[in-house]
A and B are shown apart, each in its own frame.
Chain A
Amino acid sequence: MVFISDIIERLDPYTGIIVLAFAALITIFAGFSKNNGIKIFIILVSALSYAAAFYLIIYSFIEYGPRDGFLTSISLPELILSCIILFIGLNVLFFISVSRFREDSFIRIVILLTFSLIPVLSLIMADNMIFIFTAFALTILSIFTLISSLDREIAGSGEAIGKFGIRTILPITLIFLGFSVLIGAGGAKNLSGYGGIESAADPLLLVSVVVFACAFYFYFFLYPFQGPYLKIVRRISGGAISVLWFLYMPAGIILLIKFNRFFDSFIEKNNIYAFTIITVFAFINLFGAAVGAIRAISLKRILSMFLLFEIGTMVLARSAGSLGMTSCRFASYYDLTVLIIILIVFLPLQLLIMLLEKNTGKDIIAGTRGLAYKNIYIGICVIIIFLWWIAANIYVFPFEEFISGSGPMSHGPGGLILFIGYIIVLLLMAVNIFRMILVFFKKLPETGGPKNYAVPRIFYAYISVFVLLALSISILIIIGKMDIGQDHLRIWSSSFDIFSSGN
């Protein structure tokens, strides 16, 4: 045990990355095998390596606590993000195993997935700007390679993936340019060196903030630049969508959390101009996603718009921050919460549409017609997840700031615009969800309608885990708010305080 602890101490904080690299090295030797037994062995090795990395990251944090170095910085948010990414890795591995097990290239795809997790984990712990940029660029590179490998044999996806790839170069180049300007603003090697309010007066910092903000906006394909994202989602398979939604988008959120510290100093300094610009773009995105989904009939397209809506709420949270309604730390907390919401809501829904598409051969909302009668359990679970999603968005957004003090006008007309606008977009999103639930309860046509809603038994367990997770979070929040029960049960009601203290 002493020997193992000594090795972990020497490798810290790269233990998780080294375990994944070792697993990738082992699996490379079976890269061209088509044997089913070897494929199962590769799945086991990969899953165990993710679990081992998960354990080692938590063990290191408990043993050595938060720590800063020249290249890395590790505290509670980094620990949570690392665990989330490894959890995502396990889920994507499951999705790929469900959909691509019989293909000859299966093992190579699993190797690429493990390789993709390594730069994401590096990005989480990176603090030095060289390390941040390199890890982020390699993350994009590996994700693009993974998506293009997953849909290599699907006709019609090549053009959409190519256009997606060209668009992914833009945020990387913009971030490179932003760093080049940022260095002129102070010369610090870490982002934390630019967090002071005094430095927000520097015009070079202003230029770099604008460039970074544009990079993030393009990265997330927010409205009005959503075209390539909406096109690629309809043209790629379920496995590739899981990479796009659960690796590409979270990687952007992780980078955004890193930049928050110095974004927020700028937003708080220049409130009125920043508020106007951010609010306009936030509502373009929220209204665009909520209204666009009403008319869409493809399930993939509807869910991709829902995801854009969820990311749009992060932009709106910045808008609230520019009014002084929320603190600097709240933005990071909000981003992390949005990431968790995305996982709890979209992981099971994505697998469900993947299975339904496989059964019915269609990716249309009418394909779920009669789901509530034909497969009652899944229907109820999906309805619970949808309702939880709306409730989570209402709970997480700082609504209490609007109604505290002197009421909705306590933050001026800007606060009122935010309040009313967000209520309207939430209502539009509720209409979308009601429309989907209504289709579940529509009776099946006599002939020609989809008949097969059977899903593998493991999916019942999978969706149950997420529903129980969602329900237990809700119950713990209610217990915390009512101030009943033991102290450890109240954790969810004061999660922001815990996050802030550990940051």
Chain B
Amino acid sequence: MSSELVFYIAMVLFLISVFGLFVSADIVSVFIAYQLMTAAAIINFLNFSVYMETGQLWIKVFLIIGLLTIYLLAFVVFFYIYSNTETLERKTIIKDHRLFRLEKSDWWGEDNI
């Protein structure tokens, strides 16, 4: 499989994740979209490391450290959301995590607290 084809596959994964982020309102779907984006990055890292004469170890170290920090952040946010929402509210809050909702109050006037 050529390097270009692998890169295109990674970019398709990235575009699917962007679509998921814009469309989905469920927190689990949002996190899956992040996983797809991370998977696209992993594919790119490994793809380019194959064709490099030097620095392969450096790329692998970057990959491992990068993944660790991203998953740590995702875990902290996910833990915060689950530990701070009451059981009764949880279903409504988890279903209402659309990232890019356009509301009139964000542009003009006040939002209701």
Q: Are B73 and A141 in contact (CB under 8 A)?
A: yes
User: Cα distance A137–B72 when bound, in Å?
Assistant: 9
Q: A137-B69, A174-B37, A187-B55 are in contact. Are A230 and B106 (CB under 8 A)?
A: yes
Question: 1/0 contact trace for A45-71 toward B, CB 8 Å?
Answer: 000000000000000000000000000
Q: Report Cα–Cα, A170/B99, bound state, in Å.
A: 10
Tell whether B77 is near chain A: CB-to-CB under 8 Å. Answer: yes
Check A168/B73 contact, CB under 8 A, given A133-B62, A134-B65, A161-B80: yes
B77 touches A168 (CB 8 A): yes
Task: Name which of B27, B44, B49 has the most chain A CB atoms within 10 A of its CB.
Answer: B44
Residues of A within 8 A of B10 (CB): 180
Per the bound structure, the CA–CA distance linking A158 and B100 in Å amounts to 19
Contacts A173-B38, A184-B48 given; does A167 touch B99 at CB 8 Å = yes
B110 → A minimal CB distance (Å)? 6
Shortest distance between the CB of A4 and any CB in chain B (Å): 33
B window 1-60: CB within 8 A of A: 7, 10-11, 14, 21, 27, 30, 34, 37-38, 40-42, 44-45, 47-49, 52, 54-55, 58-59
Q: Given A141-B72, A184-B44, are A177 and B65 also a contact pair (CB < 8 Å)?
A: no
- Residue total for B at the interface (Cβ-Cβ under 8 A): 52
List the A residue with the shortest CB-CB distance to B69: A137
Mark A186-213 against chain B: 1 for CB-CB distance below 8 A, else 0. 0101000000000000000001000000
The answer, among A130, A138, A145, for a CB contact under 8 Å with B61, is: A130
Q: Which residue on B lies nearest to A297, using beta carbons?
A: B110
Name A144-182 residues within 8 Å CB distance of B. 144-145, 148, 156, 158-159, 161-163, 165-170, 172-174, 176-177, 179-181
B37 touches A140 (CB 8 A): no
Q: Mark B73-99, 1 if CB is under 8 A from A, else 0.
A: 110110011001100000001000101
Q: How far is the CA of A144 from the CA of B74 in the complex (A)?
A: 11
Given contacts A130-B65, A180-B41, contact A169 B74 (CB under 8 A): yes
Please choose the segment from A17-25, A287-295, A366-374, A418-426 that sits at the chain B interface, where 4 or more of its residues have CB less than 8 A away.
A287-295
Smallest Cβ distance from A249 to chain B, in angstroms?
18
Of chain B, the residue at the smallest CB distance from A234 is: B113
Q: For B21, what are the chain A residues with a Cβ–Cβ distance below 8 Å?
A: 170
Residues of A in contact, count (CB < 8 Å): 53
User: Could you say which of A138, A158, A166 contacts B84, with CB atoms under 8 Å apart?
Assistant: A158
Interface contacts beyond A181-B44, A183-B45, A183-B62: sample of 19 additional A-B pairs, CB < 8 Å, sorted by A: A130-B62, A134-B69, A137-B73, A141-B69, A148-B80, A159-B93, A162-B80, A162-B93, A165-B81, A167-B99, A169-B74, A169-B77, A177-B41, A179-B62, A184-B47, A189-B55, A230-B111, A291-B107, A291-B108
From the candidates A173, A235, A301, name the one contacting B41 in the complex (CB within 8 A): A173
The answer to whether B77 and A144 have CB atoms under 8 Å apart is yes
Most chain B CB neighbours (cut-off 10 Å) among A141, A189, A296: A141
Q: Which residues of A contact B59 (CB under 8 A)?
A: 183
Q: Is A407 an interface residue (CB 8 A)?
A: no
- Interface secondary structure of B, over-half rule: helix
Contact of B62 among A129, A226, A230 (CB under 8 A): A129
Q: Which residues of B contact A (CB under 8 A)?
A: 7, 10-11, 14, 21, 27, 30, 34, 37-38, 40-42, 44-45, 47-49, 52, 54-55, 58-59, 61-62, 65-66, 69-70, 72-74, 76-77, 80-81, 84-85, 93, 97, 99-103, 106-111, 113
Return 11 A-B CB contacts under 8 Å, by A number.
Answer: A134-B66, A137-B72, A156-B113, A170-B34, A176-B66, A179-B66, A180-B44, A187-B52, A187-B55, A292-B108, A296-B109
A163 to B94, CA, bound (A): 10
A180 (CB) vs chain B CBs: closest residue: B44
**CB-CB under 8 A for A177 and B37, given A162-B80, A165-B77:** yes
Q: Which one of A130, A144, A231, A292 contacts B73 once the chains associate, using CB atoms below 8 Å?
A: A144
Is A99 part of the contact surface with B, judged by Cβ < 8 Å?
Answer: no
A225: interface (CB < 8 Å):
yes
- Give the residue name and chain of the B residue nearest to A229 (CB): B106
Q: Chain A interface mostly helix, strand, loop or mixed? A: helix
Q: Once bound together, how far apart are the Cα atoms of A246 and B60, in whole Å?
A: 34
A163 and B97 within 8 A (CB)? yes
Task: Contact check, A227 vs B81: say whether CB atoms are below 8 A apart.
Answer: no
Q: Is A298 an interface residue (CB 8 A)?
A: yes
Kindly list chain A residues whose C-beta atoms are within 8 Å of the C-beta of B85: 158-159, 162
Contacts of A295 in B (CB 8 A): 108-110
9 closest residue pairs by CB, A with B: A180-B44, A165-B77, A137-B69, A184-B48, A158-B84, A162-B81, A180-B41, A177-B41, A227-B106
Bound-state CA distance A230–B55 (Å) is 43
- Give the nearest-CB partner of B47 in chain A: A184
Chain B hits for A165, CB < 8 A = 76-77, 80-81
In Å, the complex CA distance between A231 and B27 comes to 18
- A412 close to B (CB within 8 Å): no
A361, CB-defined interface residue at 8 Å:
no
CA of A163 to CA of B100, assembled, Å: 11
- Beyond A166-B97, A173-B70, A187-B52, whether A141 also contacts B108 by CB under 8 A is no
Question: In chain A, what residue has the closest Cβ to B93?
Answer: A159
Q: How far is the CA of A174 from the CA of B41 in the complex (A)?
A: 9
Most buried by A among B34, B40, B66: B66
Given A130-B58, A180-B41, A224-B102, A296–B110 Cβ distance below 8 Å?
A: yes
